[in-house]
Amino acid sequence: MNAHTPMLRPDPTSLKQSFALFPSGVVIATTIDAQGVSHGFTASTFVPLSVEPPMVLVCLNRSAQCYDAFLTSERFAVSVLRPEHQDIAMRFATRGADKFADRAFDTGAGTPPVLDCALAAFECSVADRHPGGDHIILTGLVERMRHTTQGGAMVHFARSFHAVEI
Ligand SMILES: Cc1cc2nc3c(=O)[nH]c(=O)nc-3n(C[C@H](O)[C@H](O)[C@H](O)COP(=O)(O)O)c2cc1C
């Protein structure tokens, strides 16, 4: 630990700077609403939660445009990004963007879209929704999944994207 750095009370700016120093993988979380419209956002708050039962979690900001869709849908999917998915990561982090424009997603009948070439993908039924400050914590029971060991993963660290190779 750096003895010369004092512990401070958190303010939003320095808190975000500190949070940004925690390296994390990057995923796209998706769902479909009652009208069959797809919604999604880029997330670094994905956690592989439990093996028995198989569960994951992801946290969504209450101010997100897709918040209502994730609050009301009983299903969501998570696609783990590769280093070459920076454009997709930025598009799904942009409010109002045409997020599913490039046909890179499997849109099965009635199931949330999954990125075709995701490193790993999880299709979930919502297990629970917990309050988490300005976010909601969505836990999901994994019903179907796939993965590949080919290629690297995307990592977000200090506000930029990096590659980790297997
Ligand atoms: C690398 C990265 C990680 C992010 N992680 C999260 C996250 O875990 N939860 C979240 O709510 N927003 C996260 N965001 C921001 C959302 O992707 C962004 O605000 C998105 O536009 C919200 O959805 P909306 O377009 O429906 O408002 C992240 C953005 C980036 C670039």
Residues 113, 97 contacting (CB under 8 angstroms): no
User: What SS3 state is found at 11?
Assistant: coil
CA of 2 relative to ligand 1 center, distance in Å: 31
CA of 114 relative to ligand 1 center, distance in Å: 17
Domain assignment present for residue 94? The answer is yes
* pLDDT score for 1: 57
CATH of the domain at 31: 2.30.110.10
Look-up of token digits 């990057």: 26
Neighbours of 62 (CB within 10 A): 12
Distance CA 102, CA 23 (A): 28
- Nearest protein CA to atom 10 of ligand 1, as residue: 60
Distance CA 126, CA 138 (A): 7
Domain assignment present for residue 16? The answer is no
Domain assignment present for residue 123? The answer is yes
* pLDDT score for 3: 66
Domain assignment present for residue 41? The answer is yes
- Nearest protein CA to atom 7 of ligand 1, as residue: 43
- Nearest protein CA to atom 13 of ligand 1, as residue: 43
pLDDT tens for residues 22-78? 999 999 999 999 999 999 999 999 999 999 999 999 999 999 999 999 999 999 999
Residues 126, 139 contacting (CB under 8 angstroms): yes
Specify the number of domains making up the chain: 1
CA of 94 relative to ligand 1 center, distance in Å: 8
CA of 132 relative to ligand 1 center, distance in Å: 15
* pLDDT score for 81: 98
> Which of 41, 79, 159 best tests ligand 1's pocket when mutated (most atoms within 8 Å of CB)?
41
Domain assignment present for residue 19? The answer is no
- Nearest protein CA to atom 16 of ligand 1, as residue: 93
Domain extent, residue 105, equals 24-150
pLDDT at 2 over 70: no
Distance CA 139, CA 130 (A): 8
Domain assignment present for residue 18? The answer is no
pLDDT tens for residues 96-146? 999 998 889 988 788 999 999 999 999 999 999 999 999 999 999 999 999
Q: What b/e readout covers 131-160, taking b as 16+ CB neighbours within 10 angstroms? A: eeeebbbbbbbbeeeeeeeeeebbbbeeee
What are the E-state strand segments in 26-68? 27-32, 38-43, 47-50, 55-61
Please report the atom of ligand 1 found closest to the CA of residue 161.
1
Distance CA 25, CA 58 (A): 12
Domain assignment present for residue 131? The answer is yes
* pLDDT score for 55: 98
Which pair of tokens denotes residue 133? 């400050």
Domain assignment present for residue 65? The answer is yes
* pLDDT score for 86: 97
